[in-house]
Amino acid sequence: MQPLNYNKDTMFYDDMEVVTIPKKEKWTGAQIYQFIDDIQRQYELTSQLTLPMEASTHYRDLLSRLIKAYGH
C-alpha cells in the first residue's frame, strides 16, 4: 500500500484503497473485525493525544466508512 494523499505535514493512505482491502483479499469475518478494531483503537488514541485535528478526523472518517461497508 502506498501513501496517496498528502496533508501538509502528515501522510495518509487513500481511504477508498484501505476500505477495499478486505474485499480484494477476501478476508474472513474475524480478520475484518480485527481490522476495524485496530482502526477504532487508532482513532481513540489520536483523539486523546495532542495531535492535529486532521489525524483524529481521518481515523474517524475511515472507521465510519469501514463500519458502513462491513459492519451492517
46-58 pLDDT per residue, tens = 888 888 888 888 8
Residue 17 near residue 1, CB atoms below 8 Å = yes
Residue 63 near residue 15, CB atoms below 8 Å = no
pLDDT at 31 > cutoff 50: yes
Between these two residues, 51 and 37, which has the higher pLDDT value?
A: 37
How many structural domains are present in the chain? 1
pLDDT at 39 > cutoff 70: yes
Average pLDDT score over residue span 16-33 = 88
For the entire predicted model, the pTM comes to: 0.71
Structural domain including 26 reads 5-70
- Tell me what pLDDT residue 13 has: 58
Can you tell me which residue has the cell 477508498? 16
